[in-house]
Amino acid sequence: MGRVISNDIHVSFVYDASQLKLKLTTYGEEAREKFIRMSAKYGFNPHVFRVEVEVRASGKTAGMTDTYYYGEGKRFRSLKEIERFYNPIPVSDEDIESYIMSRYFSNFDSVIRYTINLCEPSAARSGVQPDIFPFIEGAHVVTHFDSKGNRRTMCIHPCNSGIRHYGRVGWQHAYACRCPMHINSSYWRRLTSKVLSDRQNFLKYKNNNYIETVIGMTYDKYLIYMRDRFVSTFQGILPEHEFTLTPEKLIESKYVIDEFLPRCYGKKFKNRNDISIFLAKIFNFKNTQYLIRNKDHAVTLGVDVNENRYLINDCKNGSILSDALENFEKIVPSDAAVAYFNDVVIKFGD
């Protein structure tokens, strides 16, 4: 431990009425003033702690000071350490779930309060304590950077208390959220995610009724059509051995079936009939193509990511090519396809 200098006089400069003035105080008084100011942010009582300042006596950092806080029978090195003492957070998903259920099982309001404090302490400390946290615009939205550094907007509104993302209980992606603020803006993403999932499952299990009604041709013909389109699209881009894949092997490969004109183009439609027609055209065989799954897949194939980003699924970013729109306008969906999506939209609801 270093020498305690809490009572040593310290000279500092302060601004007072736009004038620079000298201020004489002890290291301890200065540290305590800062501690009291900061403790309000963290939500604990500063007056149960003693503040001491020590100076480092040796090593490369000799002469630098450390501030320690004594209270609750312990010594703390930082305000964060004090906060963790008062609000211990379980370290794993299983610990979080068991901790919540064992402590708050019979009190749903307490579950909500604990979850919000766990996911976004600043929101819990805001002092907003209405009945079961009714939605307040902006109060339940947080930003998270995933393992790849991608920025994610997350909503921690109480309606998401049973959802878990990124190891956090009560977190939901804003684009998939059904809370009062996001339910309208997330509608299109939720709807198109549902119909996209349907297509993947119906193709996987060879649902000929769906394939002929929505896609517009039989399963076998569709696989051949898509392989021919795959070859013409990627000729000169992919290694030659990729073109030896049979239609059956191709659909089971890492390549993904995606839309030539992206689904996000239809977000502007609000009328159910317009939405149904758009979806019937979007999922028509003339608007589908094979794409490289992601950047990692592209690298393994030796494909230049920057030069061919429109052919890589996670690099398009909703871009709309002129020929995609021109081709899309020529598609005439069947009445059966429109009726199918009309029924889907009705059942989907809000």
pLDDT at 269 over 90: yes
Average pLDDT over residues 302-318: 87
Q: What does the pLDDT read at residue 38?
A: 81
- Note the pLDDT tens digit of each residue in 212-265: 999 999 999 999 999 999 999 999 999 999 999 999 999 999 999 999 999 989
86-100, 128-142, 167-181, 270-284: which has the minimum mean pLDDT? 128-142
What's the chain's average pLDDT? Answer: 82
Dihedral pair phi/psi, residue 157, rounded to 5°:
-60, 145
**By CB neighbour count within 10 A (0-12 exposed, 13-18 middle, 19+ buried), where does 2 fall?**
middle
Cβ neighbours for 110, distance < 8 A, ≥ 6 positions apart: 103, 104
Query: Which amino acid is it at 298?
Result: A
In the chain, ranges of CATH 3.30.890 domains: 3-86
DSSP 266: G
* Backbone φ and ψ of 289, nearest 5°: -155, 165
CA-CA distance, 307 to 323, in Å (whole number)?
18
Q: Is 120 exposed, middle or buried (0-12, 13-18, 19+ CB in 10 A)?
A: buried
Q: How many CB atoms lie within 10 A of CB 200?
A: 12
C-alpha to C-alpha distance for 38 and 198, rounded to whole angstroms? 52
Torsion region of 289: left, alpha or beta (phi above 0 gives left; psi -120 to 50 gives alpha): beta
How long, in residues, is the chain?
350
Reduce the DSSP state of residue 256 to 3 states and report it: strand
CB 284 within 8 Å of CB 337: yes
CB atoms within 10 A of CB 332: 10
Could you give the C-alpha distances from 211 to 247, 274, 337, 340, in angstroms and in order?
A: 16, 21, 10, 12
State yes or no: pLDDT of 74 exceeds 50.
yes
Assign domain 3-86 to its CATH architecture.
2-Layer Sandwich (3.30)
Q: The tokens of 146 are what? A: 């995933």
What is the predicted pLDDT for the residue at 133? 42
pLDDT tens digit string along 9-66?
866 655 555 565 667 778 888 888 888 888 777 777 888 889 999 988 887 788 888 8
Q: Is the predicted pLDDT of residue 5 greater than 50, yes or no?
A: yes
